[in-house]
């Protein structure tokens, strides 16, 4: 299979890249390396150091590589930054995705996009939350991802595309960027490993649906083979884990008992989140298989190896 991964030098993208390399696929990566690590891209893979906001460059790469599938993971992923810089967030997540759609159409490529479930739904919604719930996002990041989803679905309707958006829970695991939506896992692991005190924003009872990166990668691979009609699918565990519980799990993995300091809750944050991934189970045959405790242990072990 001919594949392009946008953001392939990043956290989730590099794990997906590893699996695709193992499978012997022909792979190219588009990454501006603003947060990605070039060393994660092997010499056998073509790396295009390009920003997805550069429409002409993206179109030239896609026309040259002629991928069958574009795994779209390049994005602005920080809720906090989206609040302070909403225009930059929209330029990357909305216009960048539109550039890919326009480039993919002439070569017939499918786009499998990393969207957000964690920041999409907001508070006051049923939990675990299904895809049918109208988003009540509290941050520009959720809005920009929702807009990107809509453009992908529109292309499906108007031009017969077969694009799929995966609304991910808070992905975590080795190589995680501590500045992203789920960066708390990487931050806590790093601080605990150094014997330092973590900070919890708010009272620590807020919950998120944390899903291990290897499970997320399996969802992308399954979506690449999908031939059904659904264009938006939740990818999560169905369970919310509180920040306090998360710290307990990190302490357990490290064999420590470090307590946290508290600071005021941050703008754009929502109180609770958990994703209903029943549709992904039915359509993709996918379900999460890594527990929070197991995933955090693996993450901590690799960090301290």
Residues annotated as catalytic (active site), given as ranges:
141
**DSSP output for 21-65:** HHTT-EEEEE---SS--GGGS-TTSEEE---TT-HHHHHHHHHHH
> Exposure string (b/e) for 160-192, b if CB count within 10 Å is 16 or more?
ebbbbbbbbbbbbbbbbbeebbbbbbbbbbbbb
Strand, coil or helix: 100: helix
Contact 224, 110 (CB under 8 A): yes
Coil, helix or strand at residue 303 = helix
Residue 41 has φ and ψ, to the nearest 5°, of -100, 110
Residue 197 class from Cβ within 10 Å (0-12 exposed, 13-18 middle, 19+ buried)? Answer: exposed
Per-residue three-class SS string for 102-156: HHHHHHCCEEEEEEECCCCCCCCCCCCECCCCCCCCCCHHHHHHHHHHHHHHHHH
Beta-bridged to residue 302, according to DSSP, are none
Cβ(18)–Cβ(46) below 8 Å: no
Kindly tell me the sign of the dihedral angle through the C-alpha atoms of 192, 248, 254, 185.
Answer: negative
């Amino acid at each position: 299979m001919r594949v392009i991964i946008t953001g392939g030098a990043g956290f989730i993208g590099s794990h997906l890249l590893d699996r695709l390399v193992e499978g012997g696929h022909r792979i190219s990566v588009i990454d501006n390396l603003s947060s990605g690590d070039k060393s994660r891209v092997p010499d056998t893979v073509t790396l295009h150091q390009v920003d997805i906001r550069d429409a002409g460059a993206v179109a030239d790469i896609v026309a040259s590589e002629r991928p069958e599938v574009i795994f779209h993971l390049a994005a602005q992923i920080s809720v906090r930054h989206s609040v302070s810089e909403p225009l930059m967030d929209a330029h990357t997540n909305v216009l960048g995705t539109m550039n890919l759609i326009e480039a993919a159409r002439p070569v017939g490529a499918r786009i499998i996009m990393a969207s957000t479930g964690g920041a999409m739904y907001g508070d006051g919604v049923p939990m675990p939350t299904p895809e049918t719930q109208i988003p009540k996002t509290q941050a520009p990041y959720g809005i920009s991802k929702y807009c990107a989803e809509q453009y992908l679905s529109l292309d499906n309707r108007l031009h017969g595309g077969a694009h799929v958006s995966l609304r991910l829970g808070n992905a975590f695991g080795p190589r995680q960027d501590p500045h992203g939506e789920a960066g708390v896992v990487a931050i806590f692991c790093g601080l605990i490993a150094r014997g330092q005190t973590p900070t919890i924003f708010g009272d620590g009872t807020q919950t998120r649906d944390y899903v291990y990166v290897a499970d997320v990668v399996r969802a992308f691979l399954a979506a690449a083979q999908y031939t059904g009609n659904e264009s938006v699918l939740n990818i999560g565990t169905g369970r919310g884990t509180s920040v306090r519980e998360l710290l307990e799990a990190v302490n357990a993995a490290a064999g420590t008992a470090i307590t946290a300091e508290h600071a005021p809750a941050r703008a754009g944050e929502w109180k609770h989140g958990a994703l209903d991934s029943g549709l992904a189970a039915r359509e993709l045959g996918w379900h999460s298989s890594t527990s929070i405790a197991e995933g955090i242990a693996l993450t901590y072990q690799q960090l301290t190896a």
